[in-house]
Amino acid sequence: MSEASGTAPDVVDYNIGKILQALPHRYPLLLVDRVRSITLGERIHAIKAVSMNEQFFQGHFPGAPIMPGVLQIEALAQAAGILGIETMELAGTGKLVIFMGIENAKFRSPVTPGCLLDLHVEFTQKRSRVYKFKGVASVEGKTSCEVEFTAMMTDPPA
């Protein structure tokens, strides 16, 4: 996934305060630390700083810590959630972006403590409240995970 599309980002260096406004996730499940750029309606580049202090490293795997692939997908989904919320100008409204389907998930290389996990997500289809995305997670340009997923914009459960 490339950031060079001829379109300048609409948002650059989106900080943790804005992330907390856009997403309902909190520690220990908030998996986006920074947003480098957003091109509204198109793509996002976010970052997850992977620390040895992550709870999942206690059991995955002792002595050989590796970030679980499903959490890489969750990090990509959270980045997609920010993209959707910002594109629709819904930050702070409580709207949720929830998974409907995950397809073609592939895991290419391990993610270990100390890595900066780059999260690149782009819209592939938009319909009313249902969206399709393609996401690629990488470390220093080497793909660790790629996935296609479908999500829906909705109100939180009562």
Catalytic residue numbers? 60
The pair of three-digit structure tokens given for residue 104, joined into one six-digit string:
């073609």
The pair of three-digit structure tokens given for residue 36, joined into one six-digit string:
């480098």
36/81 Cα distance (integer angstroms): 15
Query: Shortest CA distance to 117 belongs to which of 105, 133, 135?
Result: 135
What stretches of 6-156 adopt beta strand conformation (E)? 11-14, 34-39, 43-49, 96-107, 116-127, 130-139, 142-154
Report DSSP state, residue 83. H
Side chain identity at 49, as an amino acid letter?
A: A
Per DSSP, helices labelled H in the chain are 16-22, 69-87
CA angle 128, 131, 137 (to 5 degrees): 160
